[in-house]
């Protein structure tokens, strides 16, 4: 990459569980993550830095010290928020001791969600930070879309990355919403059906939703590209509609059991047709009438 | 003349935020230590009472990413104790595998930081690269390099097939000679010996008085490893051999950690080669009645105690944990007094502090 300025990096931990910090050390000192290609220097004093890598959800205790420390940095500089905590405070959001997220206290340029992000993602985020720093120095317009710089990184099939949903299999049973520890999933009722929303920047990539999902509708993909500009932070969601069906008997809206769920209940037997066609009320009535005919 | 030195809270040599106020005399020897904490306090004891038992499996994992398997492990043991369920044997074996892989990776990270702090760059790189073997293994089998999410109530979330067992054994085959080379270097390398032997000494009497645990205790000749004293899961049969040293200095603690890794490798091999058949978790989710339970496990840093109180609802009434660093931290005052200012971060690193566990 063409360079006009030497990137000098300083890391601040604002109360993280140290996962991101450990992974940052791995990124910085293990050659396979290519950070050396960027010519980044790790500086001892925050005054010398022009790239700040910040982890953690900003605890009450850290906040004043943090503001004092960053006031010493001379512009132009770039702020890279590493980990879900720094982006949205993630799993710690509801705590009394959390004053974050980070963007309340400093202008963030690049975010990388993950719990913790892979070193590959951290390296990519820092590379984007270096690029933005150069644009700032040369007074160039900021990039509106981030092009991947390190294209040769791969993730194993089993890597727990970005969550996805197969709306065909989902029955809107709210199991994922209940077990999600960071409140990244919300299911709301609308006129057309149930709207299933996943906030990728709040997700802590634990895989609880896919583990407990009875139909395998929600699942983790191995996509680890969670590097984003600050502007994209609140819009990175996955929204799916689980539509209502009209009951063939009474005409009311209902959510039929999906094929995946029926298959679980009737592994061998023939599936009663009315399961997908009638609403629970009508099925109850039909069964009752059949018993007393 | 005394000089006042402050270190932190944001310092490149500190993994986590702590704040030291030291007084030093003309020879740069520390005469007074003031430790200021609270930077990582996230109010987790309050948070766990707001979340249900399934959510807490993950929240306890986020207490600390370096011992991130021990927290949900201890939490699951506590819930199982209250529910009165017996975990399948295969699940217990798989819990040991996850725990020992994590222990090896955690200890290697601490050793890498030691090499970093004494400016032995080659050794640090070598340690980090050896650790990468474990990290890659974690990523392939559990799906994340730090937070494995291996435990669930009444069992584990993952299973090992022949292919994965093969991968583990192959990885350990590459890992073992590298570990031997590292052990040799940490034991005898001139640079390491010069900077760590006789530094930050914790005499046995002080270690007993302060109740230190884990490698800090073993470095001072005290064996209080929970896996030996009060075995849980399969440790009763595996009989871990712990490394004991008498010197009580930074070097002794490092060597105890290396010994732990060697043992971890042996135990992982033994378990995966004779993996018991059966379920990985009970089919039915347990009913959690009102009750109280206390359990203890051995984290990479020492003894971890969990206390859980339930009232029959889906959320804990109270959960509290005593972490190894809580007692080891007090020992720092003994270790740092009389040391050079330039050794302070090295001594701090030698207790393998987990501040996010302690302040939570």
Chain A residues with CB-CB distance to B140 below 8 A: 156, 158
CA pair distance B158, A215, nearest whole angstrom: 18
CB contact under 8 A, B140 and A66: no
Lowest mean pLDDT among A23-32, B45-54, B160-169: A23-32
pLDDT tens-digit profile of A26-75?
Answer: 888 888 888 778 888 888 888 888 888 999 899 888 888 888 888 888 88
Lowest mean pLDDT among B22-36, B250-264, B329-343: B22-36
What is the reported pLDDT for A40? 82
Based on C-alpha coordinates, what's the Rg of chain B?
20
Half-sphere exposure for B281 (CA within 13 Å, toward CB): 19
Those of residues 232-261 in A touching chain B at CB distance below 8 A are none
CA pair distance A123, A38, nearest whole angstrom: 9
Mean pLDDT of B276-296: 88
CA pair distance B54, A181, nearest whole angstrom: 8
Q: Which residue among A11, A59, A179 sits closest to B40, beta carbon to beta carbon?
A: A59
CA-based nearest distance A2→chain B, Å? 27
What is the reported pLDDT for A4? 65
Closest to B268 measured CA to CA, from B297, B238, B241? B238
A189 DSSP β-pair partners: A194
pLDDT tens-digit profile of A222-249?
Answer: 888 888 888 888 888 889 888 888 888 8
A121 touches chain B (CB under 8 A): no
Token representation of residue A15? 């109360």
Closest to A108 measured CA to CA, from A12, A214, A26? A12
Residue B50 scores a pLDDT above 80:
yes
CA pair distance B292, B78, nearest whole angstrom: 8
What is the reported pLDDT for B1? 53
Residue ranges in chain A whose pLDDT is less than 50: 1
What is the reported pLDDT for B21? 76
CB contact under 8 A, A29 and B112: yes
Chain B residues with CB-CB distance to A72 below 8 A: none
Collect all residues with Cβ–Cβ distance below 8 Å to B180 and sequence separation of at least 6: none
What is the reported pLDDT for A255? 84
CB contact under 8 A, A18 and B132: no
Cis peptide before A76 (omega within 30 of 0): yes
Assign B191 a pLDDT band (cuts: 50, 70, 90).
confident
CB contact under 8 A, A220 and B143: yes
Residue pair A71/A107 in contact (Cβ under 8 Å)? The answer is no
CA-based nearest distance A236→chain B, Å? 22
Residue B211: burial class (beta carbons within 10 Å; 0-12, 13-18, 19+)? middle
- The conformational region for residue B234 under phi > 0 = left, psi -120 to 50 = alpha, else beta, is alpha
Domain range annotation of chain B = 3-359
Residue pair B88/B163 in contact (Cβ under 8 Å)? The answer is no
Chain A residues with CB-CB distance to B157 below 8 A: 207, 211
Residue pair B287/B82 in contact (Cβ under 8 Å)? The answer is no
Length of chain A: 293
Domain spanning B3-359: CATH 3.40.50.620: no
> What CATH number belongs to A163-223+234-243?
3.30.70.3270
CB contact under 8 A, A15 and B39: yes
Helix, strand, coil shares of chain A as percentages rounded to 5?
35, 20, 50
A165 DSSP β-pair partners: A218
Nearest CA in chain A to B150: A206
Assign B294 a pLDDT band (cuts: 50, 70, 90).
very high
pTM, full prediction: 0.88
CA-based nearest distance A45→chain B, Å? 8
* Cα dihedral across residues B111, B113, B117, B123: positive or negative: positive
Q: What angle do CA A4, A9, A14 make, to 5 degrees?
A: 145
Domain range annotation of chain A = 8-137, 163-223+234-243, 245-291
Token representation of residue A195? 């709207």
Lowest mean pLDDT among B93-97, B202-206, B294-298: B202-206
Alpha helices in B294-337 (DSSP H): 324-336
Closest to A204 measured CA to CA, from A92, A125, A90? A90
CB contact under 8 A, A57 and B42: yes
CA pair distance A50, A2, nearest whole angstrom: 17
Q: Which residue among A59, A69, A119 sits closest to B42, beta carbon to beta carbon?
A: A59
Domain spanning A8-137: CATH 3.40.50.10170: no
Q: Which residue among B128, B141, B157 sits closest to A29, beta carbon to beta carbon?
A: B128
Q: Which stretches does DSSP call E strand in chain A?
A: 8-13, 41-42, 51-55, 78-82, 110-112, 163-165, 185-189, 193-199, 218-220, 227-229, 237-243, 245-246, 253-254
In a mutagenesis test of the B interface, which of A206, A210, A212, A221 is the best target, namely the one with the most B β-carbons within 10 Å? A206
Assign B265 a pLDDT band (cuts: 50, 70, 90).
very high
- The conformational region for residue B225 under phi > 0 = left, psi -120 to 50 = alpha, else beta, is beta
Alpha helices in chain A (DSSP H): 19-29, 60-70, 84-88, 119-137, 175-179, 208-212, 259-265, 274-277, 280-291
Residue A147: burial class (beta carbons within 10 Å; 0-12, 13-18, 19+)? exposed
Three-state secondary structure call for residue A251: coil
Residue pair B42/A89 in contact (Cβ under 8 Å)? The answer is no
CB contact under 8 A, A95 and B46: yes
Residue A229: burial class (beta carbons within 10 Å; 0-12, 13-18, 19+)? middle
Q: Which residue among B58, B113, B146 sits closest to A19, beta carbon to beta carbon?
A: B146
Token representation of residue B241? 């051999």
What is the reported pLDDT for A3? 53
């Amino acid at each position: 990459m063409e360079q006009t300025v030497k990137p000098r990096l300083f890391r601040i931990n604002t109360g993280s569980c140290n996962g991101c910090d450990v992974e940052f050390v791995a990124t910085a000192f293990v050659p396979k993550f290519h950070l050396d290609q960027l010519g980044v220097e790790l500086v001892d004093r925050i005054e010398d830095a022009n790239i700040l890598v910040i982890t953690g959800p900003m605890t009450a205790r850290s906040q004043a010290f943090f503001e004092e420390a960053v006031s010493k940095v001379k512009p132009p500089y770039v702020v890279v928020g590493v980990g879900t905590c720094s982006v949205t405070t993630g799993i710690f959001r509801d705590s009394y001791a959390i004053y974050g997220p980070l963007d309340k206290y400093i202008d963030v340029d690049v975010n990388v969600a993950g719990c913790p992000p892979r070193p590959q993602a951290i390296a990519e985020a820092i590379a984007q930070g270096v690029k933005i720093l150069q644009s700032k120095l040369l007074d160039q317009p900021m990039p509106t879309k981030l092009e991947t710089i390190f294209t040769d990184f791969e993730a194993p099939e089993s890597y727990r990355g970005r969550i996805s949903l197969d709306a065909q299999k989902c029955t809107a049973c709210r199991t994922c919403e209940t077990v999600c520890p960071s409140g990244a999933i919300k299911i709301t009722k609308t006129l057309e059906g149930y709207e299933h929303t996943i906030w990728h920047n709040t997700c802590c990539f634990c895989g609880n939703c896919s583990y407990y999902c009875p139909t395998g509708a929600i699942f983790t993909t191995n996509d680890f590209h969670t590097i984003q500009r600050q502007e994209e932070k609140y819009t990175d969601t996955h929204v799916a509609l689980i539509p209502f069906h009209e009951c063939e008997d009474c005409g009311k809206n209902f959510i039929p059991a999906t094929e995946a769920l029926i298959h679980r209940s009737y592994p061998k037997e023939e599936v009663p047709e009315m399961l997908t066609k009638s609403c629970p009320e009508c099925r109850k009535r039909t069964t009752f009438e059949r018993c007393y005919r | 003349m005394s000089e006042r030195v402050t270190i932190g809270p944001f310092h490149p040599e500190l993994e986590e935020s702590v704040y030291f106020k030291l007084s030093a005399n003309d020879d740069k020897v520390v005469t007074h230590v003031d430790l200021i904490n609270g930077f990582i306090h996230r109010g987790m004891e309050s948070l766990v009472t707001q979340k249900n038992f399934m959510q807490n499996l993950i929240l306890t994992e986020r207490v600390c990413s370096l011992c991130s398997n021990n927290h949900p492990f201890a939490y699951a043991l506590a819930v199982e104790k209250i529910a009165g369920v017996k975990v399948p044997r295969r699940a217990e074996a798989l819990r040991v595998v996850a725990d020992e892989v994590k222990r090896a990776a955690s200890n290697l990270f601490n050793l890498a930081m030691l090499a970093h702090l004494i400016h032995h760059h080659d050794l640090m790189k070598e340690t980090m690269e050896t650790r990468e073997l474990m990290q890659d293994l974690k990523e392939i089998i559990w799906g994340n390099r730090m937070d494995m999410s291996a435990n669930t109530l009444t069992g584990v979330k993952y299973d090992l097939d022949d292919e994965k067992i093969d991968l583990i054994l192959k990885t350990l085959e590459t890992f073992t000679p590298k570990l031997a080379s590292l052990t040799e270097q940490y034991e005898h390398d001139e640079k390491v010996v010069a900077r760590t032997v006789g530094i930050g000494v914790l005499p046995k009497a002080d270690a007993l008085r302060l109740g230190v645990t884990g490698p800090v205790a073993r470095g001072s000749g005290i064996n209080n490893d929970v896996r030996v004293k009060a075995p849980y899961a399969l440790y009763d049969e595996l009989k871990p051999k712990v490394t004991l040293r008498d010197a009580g200095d930074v070097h002794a603690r490092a060597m105890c950690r290396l010994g732990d890794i060697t043992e971890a490798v042996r135990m992982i091999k033994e378990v995966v080669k004779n993996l018991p058949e059966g379920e990985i978790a009970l089919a039915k989710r347990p009913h959690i009645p009102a009750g109280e339970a206390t359990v203890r496990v051995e984290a990479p840093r020492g003894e971890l105690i969990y206390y859980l109180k339930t009232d029959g609802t889906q959320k804990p009434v109270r959960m509290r944990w005593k972490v190894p660093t809580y007692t080891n931290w007090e020992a720092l005052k003994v270790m740092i007094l009389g040391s050079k200012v330039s050794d302070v971060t090295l001594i701090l690193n030698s207790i393998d502090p987990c501040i996010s566990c302690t302040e939570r």
